[in-house]
Amino acid sequence: MTELMASSSNFDIDTAKVLAAAVDPNKAIRIARFFSYPKQVLYLTASFIALVSICHYVSLAYRYVKRNRVYPATRDSSLRMYRLPAALTNSAKALAFRWTVPLGSSFQLNLVEVFMMAAYIAVLFTWALINTTTTTGVKLEPHYYANRAGTIAASQLPIMTALGMRNNLISWLTGISFDKLNYLHRTSARVICIMVWLHGGGRLTVGLVDDEAVVNRWVQCGFLAASTLTLMCILTVQPVRKRSYELFLLIHFIFAFIFLMAVYFHLTGRSLTYYGAWPSMIVWGIDRFIRLVQLVLYNYGYFSPSSSPEELDASVELLSPHFLRVTMYRPKYFYWRPGQSAFLAFPTVSKFPFKFESHPFTIATTAEEVVDADSASGSKKRKLVFFLRVRNGFTARLKEAVSEKEETVKVFVNGPCSSPPVLLGYQSVILVAGGSGVAFTLPLLMDLVSRAKRGEYPCQKVLFIWAIRDADHIKWIEDIVLPALENIPDSISVQMKFFVTAVLENPQTWDDESDENMEEKGRSSSGPSSQTGSKLLELSFASLEQGRPDVHNLIKDEIGRATGPISINVCGTDKLASSVREATRAPRLGDVLRGGPSIDLHVEAFGGS
C-alpha cells in the first residue's frame, strides 16, 4: 500500500511538471517577443531610411524651386526673424556635419555618422536584451535573449549586404553614395557578429540537447557562420584593406560566401527562414546583375564580333612619376552627372584571379557628345578622362605597362556611381581641390559655365581653387577646360586660383614626397604665364601663387561678401578636407539672421585619387 501511494505521488509530481511545462507562461512570452522584436527593429530601420529619403527629396525640390534665383549684390544687415529657420538649419548642419571624431590615424566620422552608428548599435542591443526577466524575477534569462539575438542578427543581414553594394535601394532613396554608407556596412557586420555570439553563448548556457545537439548539421553550420563572420571582421580591418586590396577582396569574397551558405543551412527548416541568407543573396544578385548589364552595355564592342574593339581601348599617358591620365570614349548612352565616378578594370594589366578587379575614379569630363576621330563609324561618343594617382597594386602595374610613352590598353568601364552635389539655387560655389582631386571639381566648374551659357542661372560666382605641387600640372587640364571657358556670359563670374605647394630645383622630384610632409612655402605672387607656358594662366580671371592655399581666409572672404547661399565642395587630402571643415564649422546663427549666407559643404573622399 505504501509503495502504491509513493508511486502515485511520483506520478502526480511528473504530471505536474509536464503540465507546468505545457503551460509555461515564460515560453509563451518568449515566443511572442521572438517573432515581434526583429520586425520592430526592421520597422524602425525602415522608418529612419524613409525619413532621410523624405528630407533628401524635399531638399532637392527646394533647390529646384530656387534654381534660377538672382541674389542682390549688397546685404541687408538688419536682423530679420523670418531668417530664423535658415539660421537654425545652417547652425545644425555646421555642428552635425563639420565637427568630426577621429577613429585612428587616417579615419574620422562627423557627429551625424557617430550618432547613426551609436543609435544602430543601441537599437540592436536594446531590442535583444530588453524584457528578459522571467515571471519569477530572474533577470537576463538566456532563454529570453538567445534566440531573439540570433533572429535580430539574421533580420539585419540583408541591410548589411545592401550597405556594401554599389547598386542598392538605400543609396537611391537617400541620395547618399554607397561609398559613404560603407562605414555602416562595416559597423553592421561587426555588431551582427557580436549578436551572433550572444545568440550562440545563450544557447550554450541553456544547453544543446536533443535536436539542438552539436551533432546536428544545422547547429554545426551555426558555429561555422559565427566563426567565419568573426574571422572576416578581423581580417578585413583598415590596415589590411590599405596594405593589400587584392588580399582583402579575396578574403571578403570567400568568407562572405561561406558565411551566407552556413547561415542558409543553419536556418533551413527553422521558423524564420525569410530572414538571413535568402534576402541577402537576392540583394547581392540584383547588384551583380546590374553590374553585368552595365558591363556588357557600356563595353559592347569587346563582346560583339562585328565591332572594332580597339575603339573602346583607353589611351594611358604618364604625366609624372606619380600620376597617369586615362582617356577613353564610350557610346552616347553612357551618361553621368558632373563629379560622378566610374569603375575601371584593366584585364591585361591585372593579375589572375583579379583580371576584372575594378577601382573607382572620378570622371574629369562632363557628358558632352563628341565625335571620336578614331571611330570607324563616326558615331557620337562621349569622352571620359581620368587622373589616376599611382599607388601600390594595379595602378603601379599600369604605370609599368605604359613606361615612358603613351600606350593603349583594354579597359572595361562600369558605372556611373557616387552622388555629387546638386548645384542649383546657390549664389556662390567654391570648388577646392588638391592634386588629383581636380577630377571632381573640374567637371562641376564646366557644368556651371555650360548651364550659364544656356541661359540658366546655376550661380552667380564660382571660385575654383587647385593646390598642385608644380605649375606645369596646370597643363594637364587645359585641353579639357579651355573650350568650356570661352565666351563666359556676364551672368556668372569665374575666378581660378592655382597654388603651387612646392618649389624645387628639379620639378620632377616633388612626386616622391607626400602632401603632408611637404614644407609650406611663403606665398607670393607668381610671375607671368610664360614661366609655365600655360594658356590657362593667360585668362584674366586665373592667377598663380606660391604656397598652400589659406582656405580659411579664402572662404571667410567669400562668406563676408555673399548675400545668398554658398555651396563649398572639396576633394583632396584628409588635411585639406579638415581645413575646409574647420573654416565652415562655426554656427554663425547671428550672421545668417542679419542676411549672411547659409553654407552647404560636400566633402568628396571617393574616386578622387
Question: 38-47, 87-96, 198-207, 529-538: lowest mean pLDDT where?
Answer: 529-538
Per-residue buried b or exposed e for 11-35, using 16+ beta carbons within 10 Å of the residue's own CB: eeeeeeeeeeeeeeeeeeebeebbe
The model's confidence at residue 6, banded by pLDDT at 50, 70 and 90, is very low
Q: Look up residue 18 and give its three cell numbers.
A: 509536464
Using CA atoms, how far apart are residues 328 and 411, in angstroms rounded to an integer?
9
Burial, 529: exposed, middle or buried (Cβ in 10 Å; 0-12, 13-18, 19+)?
Answer: middle
Are residues 280 and 219 located together in one domain of the fold? yes
pLDDT band at 525 (very low <50, low <70, confident <90, very high): very low
pTM over 0.85: yes
For residue 4, is pLDDT > 50?
no
For residue 84, give the 3-state DSSP assignment: helix
- Concatenate the DSSP letters of all residues of 457-471 into one string: -S-SEEEEEEEESSG
Grade residue 371 by pLDDT with cuts at 50, 70 and 90: low
What is the CATH number for 389?
A: 2.40.30.10
Indicate whether 124 and 215 sit together in one domain: yes
- Is residue 314 in a domain? yes
For residue 277, is it within any domain?
Answer: yes
Per-residue pLDDT at 529 = 44
Q: How far is CA 229 from the centre of its chain?
A: 23
CATH number of the domain where residue 480 is located: 3.40.50.80
Within a domain: 82? no
Are 167 and 246 part of one and the same domain? yes
Is residue 335 domain-shared with residue 366, that is, in the same domain? yes
First to last CA, the chain: 92
Check pLDDT > 60 for residue 276: yes
Are 463 and 579 within one domain? yes
- Asked whether the predicted pLDDT for residue 163 surpasses 90, the reply is yes
Q: What is the pLDDT of residue 376?
A: 56
Which residue, 358, 382, 417, sits at the end of a domain?
A: 417
Question: How far, in Å, are 180, 187, 325, 468, 539 from residue 160 at the CA level?
Answer: 14, 9, 35, 39, 50
Q: Does some domain include residue 609?
A: no
411 and 434, same domain (yes or no): no
Q: What is the rounded CA–CA span in Å between residue 598 and residue 609?
A: 30
- Both 560 and 436 in one domain: the answer is yes
Tell me whether residue 451 is in a domain: yes
Our CA angle for 63, 333, 415, nearest 5°, is 70
Residues 231-251 have a mean pLDDT of 85
Q: Is residue 299 part of a domain?
A: no
170 pLDDT above the threshold of 90:
yes
Are the beta carbons of 347 and 355 closer than 8 angstroms? yes
Distance CA(267)–CA(274), nearest Å, equals 9
**Residue 315: its H or E element:** strand 314-320
Query: In the chain, how many domains are there?
Result: 3
Domain shared by 408 and 435, yes or no: no
* Residue (of 367, 396, 246, 198) closest to 298 by Cα position: 367
Asked, for residue 95, whether it belongs to a domain, the answer is no
Contact predicate 543/498, CB 8 Å: yes
Q: Does 357 share its domain with 471?
A: no
| Element at 123 (helix H, strand E) | helix 111-129
pLDDT of residue 114: 93
Phi, psi torsion values for 389, nearest 5 degrees: -80, 125
Which of the pair, 372 or 574, is modelled with greater confidence? Answer: 574
pLDDT of residue 237: 85
- Verify that 395 and 434 share a domain, yes or no: no
Average pLDDT, the chain: 85
192 and 338 inside one domain: no
- Structural domain ending residue among the three candidates 395, 417, 439: 417
Tell me the average pLDDT across 371-396.
77
In this prediction, residues 510-523 reach a mean pLDDT of 39
Residue that wins the pLDDT comparison between 302 and 341: 341
Outline where 207-235 has alpha helix (H): 217-235
pLDDT greater at residue 210 or residue 475: 475
Query: Is the pLDDT at 21 greater than 50, yes or no?
Result: no
| Co-location of 168 and 236 in the same domain | yes
Q: Is residue 586 part of a domain?
A: yes
Q: Is the pLDDT of residue 601 over 90?
A: yes
Its domain, for residue 115, covers 21-65+107-293
- CA 438 – CA 436 distance, rounded (Å): 5
Q: Select, from the ranges 3-7, 208-212, 502-506, the one with the highest average predicted confidence (pLDDT).
A: 208-212
What is the helix (H) or strand (E) element at residue 168, kind and residue range?
Answer: none
Final residue belonging to a domain, choices 293, 320, 343: 293
pLDDT tens digits along 453-467: 998 888 999 999 999
Give the whole-angstrom CA distance, residue 413 versus residue 327. Answer: 12
